[in-house]
Amino acid sequence: MKKLIAGVVLGVGLTAMAHAAGDPAAGEQNAAVCAGCHGQGGGQPVMSAYPKLTGLGENYIYRQLASIKNGTRTVPEMTGLLNNLSDQDLQNLAAYFDQNPTSVNQADPELVERGAAIYRGGNLASGVPACSGCHSPNGTGNEPAGYPRLSGQNADYVAKQLKAFRDGSRAGTPNAQIMVDVAARLTDDEIAAVANYVSGLH
């Protein structure tokens, strides 16, 4: 597992160096279509099953957009939306969404304690590592490594993605194998608890 993580982090570092930084102003010009699902600026999705795009990390957002465009990550709602955008356009969109302010949600108090235990300490019995090791103790992620911000993300979206990693339907993108291995060890109750916890984490 340690070798896998080290290899992925190295690969992500090389990927990050391979593309130039995006231009937020240019990205805003192509972001209007995104508002239909993700809200103005990308931080107020119209449904809790859609992600907040704000503050996720430019590197992470760019790689996800590129993966959706080339088909290695399937998001039915985004079919065809990126086809006419260049690689630079995707970088610009990533820069635009990353710079926009994000907000946290109100977590369910009944799930916070269990969610915090998993996020901060994992589950030794089942081999689940602490989420904070990659996504930081306060949920702000790790931009150089391409690990996204989880703080304030919609709980329904986080739970949906963890289940997608667990069943292998989200497995083809950089860093995905790490999450596939982690999610395979999570129960539905643990997913619900940790998803709730990060939605209110700040």
Q: Where are the domains of the chain?
A: 18-99, 109-199
Share of the chain above pLDDT 70, in %: 90
Q: How far apart (Å, rounded) are the C-alpha atoms in residues 184 and 68?
A: 23
Give the pLDDT of residue 150.
Answer: 98
pLDDT tens digits for 113-140?
999 999 999 999 999 999 999 999 999 9
Q: What are phi and psi of 161, to 5 degrees?
A: -70, -40
Binding-site positions for heme c read 34, 37-38, 78, 131, 134-135, 179
* 81 within 8 A of 93, measured Cβ to Cβ: no
Binding-site positions read 34, 37-38, 78, 131, 134-135, 179
For residue 17, pLDDT over 60 is answered with no
For residue 70, pLDDT over 80 is answered with yes
Superfamily of domain 109-199: Cytochrome c-like domain (1.10.760.10)
Share of the chain above pLDDT 90, in %: 87
Give the pLDDT of residue 74.
Answer: 94
- Per the prediction, the chain carries an average pLDDT of 92
Q: What is the DSSP letter of 91?
A: H
* 101 within 8 A of 43, measured Cβ to Cβ: yes
For residue 193, pLDDT over 80 is answered with yes
Give the pLDDT of residue 173.
Answer: 86
For residue 36, pLDDT over 80 is answered with yes
Q: How far apart (Å, rounded) are the C-alpha atoms in residues 171 and 143?
A: 20
**CATH dotted code for 18-99:** 1.10.760.10
The predicted model gives 56-75 an average pLDDT of 96
For residue 2, pLDDT over 60 is answered with no
* 55 within 8 A of 100, measured Cβ to Cβ: yes
For residue 6, pLDDT over 60 is answered with no
Give the pLDDT of residue 8.
Answer: 44
